[in-house]
């Protein structure tokens, strides 16, 4: 590989702006870091360039550790957004600057200068000053200067941001041609989706200091793993659905059939992504070629050249529920509330427009050609309290507020959206009370697998500490951990608590399980985590956490029946649930026997499709 970032962390004012980022970039690859402002992408690029030091982690170029090398010794070329040319020097002198400070002879500097100006299509411009060039030409000079000393790696920090649209496209094409010709490993930072799609061999999406997902542009667009990536890479309609033995249901509609599932297989709440171009419009359901979704009326029609963009408001009785928090009205006293009508975004080609011209106010039927299920275990949050004051207070707690704001996951009451099968509907949220363990056990006995306990004194966590009581619980717990890690500015550590009297073989096995957990999180979810071994017993560890001054989120992966869960919580983790406790606790409950039954129940094939027998894309957890 060419570039390797390993657990890179950078903090400002004790808050991580780059949080345990691990990334491998192959030799000759054009890699694009994409994300909104403040996501940490430019900080990560500056770390690679040697302009910003790291608080934790390691960087290597072509197998050489450069973590503590000066910028000039790393062999990188850096291009900034605002050119940073020397205004008093000619174009030729700017290009030669890096060679002159390295003591390269004049004849060799001139040869290299002419070669690079030809490479960026600026032959004959060597004698001009930067002020005599257009913005696009100045940026080409900046690229030529960055390449002059033949760096191993080219780093581009939003180099097209100050240019107009036409020049951006021209310069983009130039840089891509130069990169391919030289075979140079390149990292581009941008917040522009179109630039990323046009240039990247692979894209990495950053948010809240985390590297959320990496992959080819089409893969990330068609098969995102998170709500954030699904909506950041273009418009997307997100619905809460139910995946059961019959297939996928959105409201009353069955969108996909499943063959070979057992009749008693569990029903899972899932987040369904439907891109605007994957929605078909017709005058009525009988004329649809795709699976029917709902009916509605057109709110707006916008001309966009070869594409037409429409917003369609669904009928009040559609039965569909949005999977995005902002589409819900604030809860009324924590009880059931009527969300506003759903608005669906649709994109049509010119041929579709000619077949069915539409204007605002027109009534239409909507069908779904294809869809994708997010592999997230957090489809929604369910307030498990029927007390209006308690429910309202839970919604305002710093942890739940942050998760909802970042995830865009809806917060619903326990009885909303037909919560008959409590086992698989979102994350149950429990308030601090006189008997929190009893509430947790009761919810688990009803079949809930994921529970979040929030004491009233809790603040926004800065650390996540994860512990599993068995390997059977690990996979489900890591899926839950990954979903939370992506949305908190918190450093995550997988913890093993080891008895001081444990034999050497048990200690070795404990270390191996920690490494296995880290490898599984990296391979399955693309995230990195730290590991730690604590000497002592679980109850003492839990008691120590309650006295910590640093806000901590404790994540427990516990395997067993409801009765076993109660014994474990009372014997090992009772201090976390006492009065005055400040640590929120996220629990992943698994039952190895039930998990085995579910796996044998079969599922739905993972492919795109377009007709009523459509099948699911992705493997929800």
**Per mean pLDDT, which range of 51-55, 402-406, 428-432, 609-613 is the poorest?**
609-613
594 CA to centre of own chain: 29
More confident residue, 160 or 234: 234
pLDDT at 134 over 70: yes
Strands (E) across 400-547 are located at: 411-413, 427-431, 450-454, 463-468, 491-498, 530-535
| Residues 283, 288: Cα–Cα separation, whole Å | 8
pLDDT at 437 over 90: yes
The answer to whether residue 618 sits within a structural domain is no
| Residues 591, 216: Cα–Cα separation, whole Å | 36
Cβ-Cβ contacts under 8 Å for 164 (sequence gap 6 or more): 135
Mean pLDDT computed over every residue of the chain: 85
602 CA to centre of own chain: 28
Residue 185 has phi, psi (to 5 degrees) of -65, 125
The answer to whether residue 596 sits within a structural domain is no
Q: What confidence tier does 618 reach under pLDDT thresholds 50, 70, 90?
A: very low
Cβ-Cβ contacts under 8 Å for 13 (sequence gap 6 or more): none
As for how many domains the chain has, the answer is 3
Q: How far apart are the first and last CA of the chain?
A: 32
Q: What confidence tier does 611 reach under pLDDT thresholds 50, 70, 90?
A: very low
Residue 22: closest CA among 6, 40, 3: 6
**Per mean pLDDT, which range of 101-115, 200-214, 510-524, 570-584 is the poorest?**
101-115
User: Are residue 123 and residue 16 in the same domain, yes or no?
Assistant: yes
| Residue 338 pLDDT | 56
Question: Residue 170, exposed/middle/buried by CB under 10 A (0-12, 13-18, 19+)?
Answer: middle
Adjacency order of strands within the sheet including 56-61: 15-25, 3-12, 56-61, 64-65
User: What CATH code is carried by the domain that includes residue 393?
Assistant: 3.40.50.620
Q: Supply 377's token pair.
A: 């275990």
Assign residue 153 a region (left: φ > 0; alpha: ψ between -120 and 50; beta: otherwise).
Answer: beta
pLDDT at 9 over 50: yes
**Per mean pLDDT, which range of 17-21, 219-223, 412-416 is the poorest?**
412-416
User: Are residue 353 and residue 395 in the same domain, yes or no?
Assistant: no
The answer to whether residue 619 sits within a structural domain is no
Instruction: List the Cα angle 520/523/524 in 5-degree steps.
Output: 80
User: Are residue 579 and residue 434 in the same domain, yes or no?
Assistant: yes
Residue 181: closest CA among 126, 135, 136, 121: 121
The two beta strands, 268-274 and 253-257, are: unpaired
Cβ atoms of 251 and 291 closer than 8 Å = no
Measuring CA to CA, how many Å separate 558 from each of 231, 351, 444, 452, 570? 33, 55, 11, 13, 13
What residues make up the domain containing 197? 3-227
Secondary structure element (H or E) that encloses residue 443, with its range: helix 436-445
Q: Which residue among 373, 392, 411 closes a domain?
A: 373
pLDDT at 307 over 50: yes
User: Are residue 21 and residue 81 in the same domain, yes or no?
Assistant: yes
DSSP state of 152: S
| Residue 260 pLDDT | 40
pLDDT at 433 over 80: no
- Residue whose entry in the numeric block shows the structure tokens 């427009």: 353
The two beta strands, 491-498 and 363-368, are: unpaired
Concatenate the DSSP letters of all residues of 281-293 into one string: EESSGGG-SSEEE
- For 241-297, what is each residue's pLDDT tens digit? 988 888 899 989 988 754 444 444 677 889 999 999 999 999 999 999 999 999 999
Measuring CA to CA, how many Å separate 202 from each of 174, 177, 248? 19, 17, 31
Residue 558 has phi, psi (to 5 degrees) of -120, 130
Cβ atoms of 395 and 349 closer than 8 Å = no
- For 310-367, what is each residue's pLDDT tens digit? 999 999 888 898 998 754 444 433 444 556 789 999 999 999 999 999 999 999 999 9
The answer to whether residue 274 sits within a structural domain is yes
Residue 387 has phi, psi (to 5 degrees) of -80, 125
Identify how many contiguous H helices and E strands the chain contains and give both numbers: 17, 30
Q: What is the pTM of this model?
A: 0.82
Q: Which residue among 197, 227, 257 closes a domain?
A: 227
Question: Residue 420, exposed/middle/buried by CB under 10 A (0-12, 13-18, 19+)?
Answer: exposed
Residue 209: closest CA among 499, 452, 527: 527
Cβ-Cβ contacts under 8 Å for 132 (sequence gap 6 or more): none
Residue 53: closest CA among 62, 64, 66: 66
Q: Supply 104's token pair.
A: 């390269």
Concatenate the DSSP letters of all residues of 37-50 into one string: TTSSHHHHHHHHHT
| Residue 419 pLDDT | 45
Q: Which residue among 168, 200, 227 closes a domain?
A: 227
Residue 313 has phi, psi (to 5 degrees) of -90, 125
User: Are residue 368 and residue 516 in the same domain, yes or no?
Assistant: no
Q: Supply 617's token pair.
A: 């894309």
User: Are residue 436 and residue 345 in the same domain, yes or no?
Assistant: no
pLDDT at 596 over 50: no
User: Are residue 334 and residue 452 in the same domain, yes or no?
Assistant: no
The answer to whether residue 354 sits within a structural domain is yes
Secondary structure element (H or E) that encloses residue 344, with its range: strand 343-349
User: Are residue 352 and residue 486 in the same domain, yes or no?
Assistant: no
Cβ-Cβ contacts under 8 Å for 608 (sequence gap 6 or more): 222, 370, 617
The answer to whether residue 599 sits within a structural domain is no
User: Are residue 451 and residue 571 in the same domain, yes or no?
Assistant: yes
Residue 347 has phi, psi (to 5 degrees) of -120, 130
Helix intervals (H) in 148-271: 165-182, 193-199, 217-222, 227-232
User: Are residue 35 and residue 84 in the same domain, yes or no?
Assistant: yes
pLDDT at 400 over 80: yes
User: What CATH code is carried by the domain that includes residue 183?
Assistant: 3.40.50.300
| Residue 474 pLDDT | 93
Q: What is the mean pLDDT of residues 170-196?
A: 87
| Residues 504, 437: Cα–Cα separation, whole Å | 34
| Residue 401 pLDDT | 92
User: Are residue 521 and residue 461 in the same domain, yes or no?
Assistant: yes
More confident residue, 25 or 376: 25
Instruction: List the Cα angle 4/52/60 in 5-degree steps.
Output: 20
| Residues 18, 565: Cα–Cα separation, whole Å | 36
| Residue 415 pLDDT | 54
- Indicate the SS3 state at residue 371: coil
**Per mean pLDDT, which range of 458-462, 523-527, 588-592 is the poorest?**
588-592
User: Are residue 579 and residue 468 in the same domain, yes or no?
Assistant: yes
Cβ atoms of 450 and 404 closer than 8 Å = no
Cβ atoms of 369 and 290 closer than 8 Å = yes
The answer to whether residue 177 sits within a structural domain is yes
The answer to whether residue 611 sits within a structural domain is no
């Amino acid at each position: 590989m060419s570039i390797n970032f390993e657990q890179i962390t950078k903090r400002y004012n004790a808050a991580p702006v780059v949080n345990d980022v691990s990334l491998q970039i192959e030799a000759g690859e054009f890699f694009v870091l994409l994300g909104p402002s403040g996501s940490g992408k430019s900080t990560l690029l500056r770390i690679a360039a040697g302009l910003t030091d790291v608080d934790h982690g390691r960087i290597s170029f072509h197998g050489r550790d450069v973590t503590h090398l000066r910028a000039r010794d790393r062999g990188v070329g850096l291009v900034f957004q605002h050119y940073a040319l020397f205004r008093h020097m000619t174009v030729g002198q700017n290009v030669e600057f890096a060679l002159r400070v390295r003591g390269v002879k004049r004849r060799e500097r001139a040869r290299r200068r002419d070669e690079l100006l030809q490479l960026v299509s600026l032959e004959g411009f060597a004698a001009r000053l930067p002020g005599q060039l257009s913005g696009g030409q100045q940026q080409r000079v900046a690229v030529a200067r960055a390449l002059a000393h033949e760096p191993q790696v080219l780093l581009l920090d939003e180099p097209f941001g100050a240019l107009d649209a036409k020049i951006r496209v021209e310069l983009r094409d130039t840089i891509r041609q130069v990169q391919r010709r030289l075979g140079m490993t390149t990292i581009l930072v941008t917040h522009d989706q179109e630039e990323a799609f046009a240039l990247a061999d692979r894209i990495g999406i950053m948010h809240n200091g985390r590297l959320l997902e990496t992959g080819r542009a089409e893969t990330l667009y068609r098969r995102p793993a998170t709500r954030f990536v699904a909506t950041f890479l273009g418009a997307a309609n997100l619905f809460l659905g139910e995946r059961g033995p019959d297939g996928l249901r959105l409201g009353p509609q069955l969108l996909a059939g499943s063959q070979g599932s057992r009749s008693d297989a569990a029903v899972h709440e899932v987040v369904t992504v439907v891109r605007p171009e994957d929605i078909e419009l017709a005058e009525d359901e009988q004329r649809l070629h795709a699976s029917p979704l709902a009916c509605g009326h057109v709110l707006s029609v916008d001309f966009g050249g070869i594409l037409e963009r429409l917003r369609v408001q669904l009928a009040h009785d559609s039965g569909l529920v949005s999977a995005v928090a902002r589409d819900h009205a604030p809860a009324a006293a924590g009880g059931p509330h009527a969300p506003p009508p759903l608005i669906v975004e649709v994109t049509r080609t010119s041929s579709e427009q000619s077949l069915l011209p539409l204007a605002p106010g027109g009534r239409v039927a909507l069908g779904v050609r294809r869809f994708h299920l997010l592999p997230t275990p957090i489809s929604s949050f369910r307030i498990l309290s029927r007390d209006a004051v308690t429910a309202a207070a839970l919604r305002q707690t710093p942890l739940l507020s942050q998760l909802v704001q970042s995830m865009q996951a809806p917060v619903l009451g326990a009885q909303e959206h037909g919560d008959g099968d409590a086992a698989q509907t979102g994350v149950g949220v429990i308030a601090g009370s006189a008997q929190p363990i009893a509430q947790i056990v009761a919810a688990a006995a009803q079949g809930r697998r994921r529970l979040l306990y929030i004491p009233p004194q809790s603040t926004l966590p800065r650390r996540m500490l994860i512990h599993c009581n068995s390997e059977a619980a690990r996979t489900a717990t890591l899926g839950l951990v990954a979903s939370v890690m992506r949305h908190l500015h918190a450093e995550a550590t997988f913890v093993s608590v080891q008895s001081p009297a444990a034999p050497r073989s048990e200690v070795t096995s404990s270390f191996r399980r920690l490494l296995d957990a880290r490898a599984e999180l990296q391979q399955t979810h693309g995230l990195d985590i730290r590991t730690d071994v604590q000497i002592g017993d679980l109850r003492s560890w839990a008691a120590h956490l309650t006295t910590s001054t640093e806000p901590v989120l404790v994540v427990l992966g516990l395997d067993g029946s409801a009765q076993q869960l109660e014994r474990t919580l009372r014997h090992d983790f009772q201090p976390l649930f006492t009065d005055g406790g400040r640590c929120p606790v996220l629990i992943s409950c698994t039952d190895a026997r039930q998990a085995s039954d579910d796996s044998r129940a079969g599922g739905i094939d993972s492919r795109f499709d377009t007709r009523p027998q459509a099948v699911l894309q992705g493997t929800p957890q």
